[in-house]
Amino acid sequence: MEFLDGVIAQLSETPQRVEDVVRGLSEEQLSWKPTEFFSIRENVLHLRDIDIYGYEKRLRLMLTEDYPVLADINGASLAIERNYNAQPIRPALDDLRRSRAISVQRLRGTSTQDLNRKAEMQGAGPIDVRRLLELWTEHDRGHLADLMELRRAIEAGAGPALAPHQAA
């Protein structure tokens, strides 16, 4: 599979995969934090914000501007400032789906040549579109793995109890 096709396939699947992870969980389970790392809810809000303020914007700038400067985003501070773990999950899921659809649409109109377009990534130096897409898919994979691990732990009984209709 060509690089861009693989990226499009992977990035477009993420919103549904996230929906699958959160399905049927209680508010308490969504906010459960067994470690200092993100809860399920925090992972979802993080993915949403990193798309909207990060990758969706970065991709748009790189495809429309000549050597733009891309701002760095501190995901950990955003989570604290915006109190992710107390926010409703539904709007975040919807925002992620919407933002991701815009990016996927944009990528469908991207050529192999566009992959060489460059930007200055704050704190990381020059970056091309190909590398940005690698970072983006890696970022998705990491958070999806964390989300699935949290879900497995909850199903195994490690977190707050499953809702009665789930436990039966």
The angle subtended at Cα 151 by Cα 146 and Cα 153, nearest 5°, is 95
| Count of positions on this chain that bind Ni ion (CB under 5 A) | 1
| Nearest alpha-carbon partner for 3 in 155, 147, 141, 134 | 134
Report the nearest approach of Ni ion to the CB of residue 2 (Å): 26
Report the nearest approach of Ni ion to the CB of residue 46 (Å): 6
Identify the bridge partners of residue 125 per DSSP, sorted by sequence position.
121
Binding mask 113-142 for Ni ion (x = CB under 5 A): ------------------------------
* Shorter beta-carbon distance to Ni ion: residue 84 or 117: 84
* Shorter beta-carbon distance to Ni ion: residue 74 or 113: 74
| Residue nearest Ni ion by beta-carbon distance | 75
Contacts to Ni ion from residues 48-87, by CB under 5 A: 75
CA atoms of 146 and 161, how far apart (whole Å): 19
CA atoms of 16 and 95, how far apart (whole Å): 13
Chain-centre distance for alpha carbon 112:
24
* Shorter beta-carbon distance to Ni ion: residue 68 or 75: 75
Please name the residue that has the structure tokens 């992620």.
96
Report the nearest approach of Ni ion to the CB of residue 49 (Å): 10
| Nearest alpha-carbon partner for 136 in 59, 40, 77, 84 | 59
Report the nearest approach of Ni ion to the CB of residue 166 (Å): 28
Chain residues that interact with Ni ion, rule: CB under 5 A: 75
